Amino acid sequence: MAMVPEPANEVMAYYSDENDLLFEADGPKQMKCCVQHLDLSSTGDGSIQLQICHQLHDKSFRQVVSVIVAMEKLKRVPCSQAFQDDDLRGIFSVIFEEEPVIFETYTDDLLCDAGVHSLTCKLQDKEQKSLVLASPYVLKALHLLARDVNREVVFCMSFVQGDESDDKIPVALGLKEKNLYLSCVMKGDRPTLQLEEVDPKTYPKWKMEKRFVFNKTEIKNRVEFESALYPNWYISTSQAEEKPVFLGRSKGGHDITDFTMEIISP
């Protein structure tokens, strides 16, 4: 059985300096007492005996207080027989208080601060029509002559938050060096594709508003872009020449939803 002596009733005034020694209350001129080293050792019969060593040790005040608190709690532990391993585990649970461990998680803001992965690319529909900016907010698809290839729009494709799967990757499509992004909005009773001007200090970002997000799907050597906000609606071009790019739902029909993508830089 653990034999723990009763603490002395004497109240000592103390003073602690940077060297963690205990002094009289009126200053560090004369040391009143020193901290004794406490040692719990086991005797041959399995009991625990408290031994006090009068040798001076350099211990901090926090360590002294920790020992006193532990010993006071140990005194309140009921003990009717010699200590066993299970008894010691029970004592530790009384002496030491369990504190919850808080796990840090990455927020969207942190992911946004880390930067958005993007690449620059060009898109042509399966009929080899290029996409050009015909007016400040209108994209059209047409066949370009060699001398006009510089009119072809270069996209900045950003990989953003969304419902990613094995075959669908959420992306946002911005026009390089322009504050314009393709977005999907409802006009009347029909989802519509438009070019929307944005703040260059804010975009692109990891958590793009859903109207800017398209699920990119690769089919053999071609890609298609489905609106995340309006499922089964796709970025489309007409079979006719020089018609605006639009949002259509006739996948595999008369309208073209398949594009080839030329990556310019990662």
Question: Is it the case that residue 167 has pLDDT exceeding 70?
Answer: yes
Q: Which domains does the chain have, with CATH numbers?
A: 118-263 (2.80.10.50)
Structure tokens at 218: 């690769």
Question: Is it the case that residue 47 has pLDDT exceeding 70?
Answer: no
Q: Given pLDDT bands bounded at 50, 70 and 90, which one contains residue 111? A: very low
DSSP H or E stretch at residue 85: helix 85-95
CB burial of 13-40 (b: ≥16 within 10 Å; e: otherwise) equals eeeeeeeebbbeeeeeeeeeeebeebee
- The backbone region for 25, taken as left when phi is positive above 0, alpha when psi lies in -120 to 50, beta otherwise, is alpha
Beta pairing partners, 168:
217
**Rounded to two decimals, what is the model's pTM?**
0.59
What contacts 129, CB < 8 A, 6 or more positions away? 141, 142, 143, 237, 241
How far apart, in whole angstroms, are the C-alpha atoms of residue 21 and residue 17? Answer: 6
Distance of CA 33 to CAs 30, 54, 62, Å?
9, 11, 16
27 φ/ψ angles, rounded to the nearest 5 degrees: 135, 175
Q: Given pLDDT bands bounded at 50, 70 and 90, which one contains residue 99? A: low
Secondary structure of 184-243 in HEC code, one letter for each residue: EEEECCEEEEEEEECCCCCCCCCCCCHHHEEEEEEECCEEEEEECCCCCCEEEECCCCCE
Question: Is it the case that residue 124 has pLDDT exceeding 90?
Answer: yes
Tens-place pLDDT, residues 136-154: 899 999 999 989 999 999 9
pLDDT at position 12 is 42
Interval 229-258 mean pLDDT: 93
Question: Is it the case that residue 118 has pLDDT exceeding 90?
Answer: yes
Interval 108-134 mean pLDDT: 82
Question: Pick the residue with more confidence: 265 or 23?
Answer: 265
How far apart, in whole angstroms, are the C-alpha atoms of residue 88 and residue 46? Answer: 12
How far apart, in whole angstroms, are the C-alpha atoms of residue 191 and residue 182? Answer: 13
Bond prior to 204 in cis (omega within 30° of 0)? yes
Question: Pick the residue with more confidence: 135 or 99?
Answer: 135
DSSP H or E stretch at residue 87: helix 85-95
Question: Is it the case that residue 54 has pLDDT exceeding 80?
Answer: no
Q: Given pLDDT bands bounded at 50, 70 and 90, which one contains residue 7? A: very low
Q: Given pLDDT bands bounded at 50, 70 and 90, which one contains residue 84? A: low
